[in-house]
Amino acid sequence: MRKPGARKWPVLWMGWGLGAWLLSLSGLADECPYAVLRTNSNAETALGAWELQARSPRMDFPNMQDKGRVQCLRPGVWGMPVPCGASIAATGKSLDVRVAGYQGFPEADGWIPMVAFTPKAAGKYAISGQLKIWFNGDPNAKDAVQWAVVTAMAESAFKPLAGDKVGNGAVVKMSEQASLQAVELAAGETVGILLWRPANRNVCGGSLTGLAVAPTPAPAAAK
């Protein structure tokens, strides 16, 4: 019997999610190299490559086939190929995204940051991490900010895996998204995380912490 006052173990989500959790404990999870991304917009890790990308046009999501290089604005802060109000800051412990609303300049308005991971080997991967949303408009709006996790091949439209429109202060836990527990990636295929304002000029953003990917184990063969 459990002793009075003893704490119960937390209930873990099952299936592929449990497999990814066990892999993270064993050191096989590939954590986002936040510290490296302060000085470099891309980084090689044991499982693949992490990169801070610029993508456009957000107005045509998921058809965002324009890809550009982020530009260093100041230490740890990366801007878009065209000067605009969008940026991504690597703090060493998080990636903080800022996206301005529409300003009436299509060449600049379309660009937003994307955090991308491309594995070295094809396979199934679980995605974990937390995204906390903010924006400076109506605090009661429930659909102020759009977030999305997508896959992409070179010169092709995004394939949305997960996403929603949420309000100020919303917290998205990637490991609780069923579609992110076993993402099948082909060779050269990228998984990316984005957020933006669907409309008007208010600024939005979000903080990504604990971001990691882990290969999911193959199901045991039936005996």
- The whole domain housing 129 covers 16-214
Using one digit for the tens of pLDDT, what is the confidence trace for 19-28? 334 444 444 7
CATH number at residue 61: 2.60.120
Q: Which pLDDT score is estimated for 100?
A: 87
4 pLDDT exceeds 60? no
Number of domains in the chain: 1
Q: pLDDT above 90 covers what percent of the chain?
A: 67
User: Distances from the Cα of 64 to the Cαs of 2, 60, 80, 176, in angstroms?
Assistant: 54, 6, 14, 26
Place of tokens 């936040």: 34
Decide: residue 203, CB within 10 A, 0-12 exposed, 13-18 middle, 19+ buried: middle
Tell whether 129 is covered by a domain.
yes
141 pLDDT exceeds 80? yes
pLDDT band at 222 (very low <50, low <70, confident <90, very high): very low
Q: Which pLDDT score is estimated for 27?
A: 45
Tell whether 8 is covered by a domain.
no
194 pLDDT exceeds 50? yes
The residue-averaged pLDDT of 86-100 equals: 95
Decide: residue 97, CB within 10 A, 0-12 exposed, 13-18 middle, 19+ buried: buried
16 pLDDT exceeds 80? no
From 40-54, 92-106, 122-136, the region with the lowest mean pLDDT: 92-106
Amino acid letter, residue 81: P
